Amino acid sequence: MHTFYTVRYPPPKGNADCQPIRVTDKAMESMLFCIVHTIEFQCPVQCQSIRPTSSRRTALPFGKEGGDGSKDEKRNTDAPEKYVCPVENTSSLLGNVTYVACAEHNPSVLASLQVAVDEARAIAIPEGKQYVSFELCVRLRHSQRRWLWDESRPLVEWVFRMVKTREKLSPPAAFDNCSWKQQRPQGAEMGTPAAHRCSEGSRTTTDEGAVCSNDPTQIRDVLQFILKHSYDSIDLNTFSDFKSGELVFDIFVRKI
């Protein structure tokens, strides 16, 4: 069995400020697109096909070819340069948070991302409850078709714990439904200036540490987490060591 990395948010140890990602059903698609497309953009570029080379040349990944270094060879090389064309995306449902994604997406991302969005929206909030917990899993694997069999090797899995909340809550219910970093001190009043109301698409973190749905500050923290762990926790050589096959994204949600 192949071993692979598992990156979890919130991390099991470390920063106590990290909390499950809170999202409403209306912003579900924007939230999942933001997370998955950011992960996709951080993955190394992969060359889909390599042109046949002569005995003097050595095939290199990412659409480049190597040889004896002569000027004629470099001039006549017509192999396309493989690179990522970035594009900025924003969503008013996420507080106009901007994130960078690929202009052309991996086919496996497009195939499974919308299915994951539909599955997340289908998770029902129990009667009498204001939220339900679930996990978003983004698994990356290397798939290669060989002569007699197909080989699939898992590389890394991202697991994001999320909380789906109701769309509209009364101010007291919205405030009580927030997740707390620590217990409120005894004698603290609900009417203190520090207790700000939760609202969608705006600054929704209270001074006591409550995080509400679609909080742009929390979304930025998640994007920073993805950026950091893409380089610190994942051995990128795992991705760049293959010159054939394809990088496949398996995206799914599960209720917890």
Q: Is residue 40 part of a domain?
A: yes
Domain enclosing residue 123, as ranges: 1-47+83-167+212-255
Q: Is residue 117 part of a domain?
A: yes
The answer, yes or no, to whether the previous bond of 10 is cis (omega within 30 of 0) is: yes
Q: Is residue 87 part of a domain?
A: yes
Q: Is residue 172 part of a domain?
A: no
Q: Both tokens of residue 68?
A: 């004896």
Tell me the one-letter amino acid at 117. Answer: V
| Strands annotated E in the chain | 5-9, 21-24, 58-59, 65-66, 86-91, 97-102, 131-145, 150-165, 246-255
Q: Both tokens of residue 162?
A: 């999320």
Digit-coded pLDDT (tens) for 32-54 = 999 999 999 988 765 544 444 44
Q: Is residue 56 part of a domain?
A: no
Q: Is residue 108 part of a domain?
A: yes
Q: Is residue 187 part of a domain?
A: no
**Overall pTM > 0.85:** no
Let me know: does 212 contact 174? Beta carbons within 8 Å: yes
Tell me the one-letter amino acid at 252. Answer: F
Q: Is residue 250 part of a domain?
A: yes
Task: State how far the Cα of 117 lies from the Cα of 253, in Å rounded to an integer.
Answer: 8
Angle, vertex CA 157, rays to CA 156 and CA 163, nearest 5: 160
pLDDT band at 174 (very low <50, low <70, confident <90, very high): very low
pLDDT band at 250 (very low <50, low <70, confident <90, very high): very high
Mean pLDDT (the chain, rounded)? 74
For residue 213, pLDDT beyond 50: yes
What φ, ψ does residue 241 adopt, rounded to 5°? -85, -5
Tell me how many domains the chain contains.
1
For strand 150-165 and strand 21-24, is the pairing parallel, antiparallel, or unpaired?
Answer: parallel
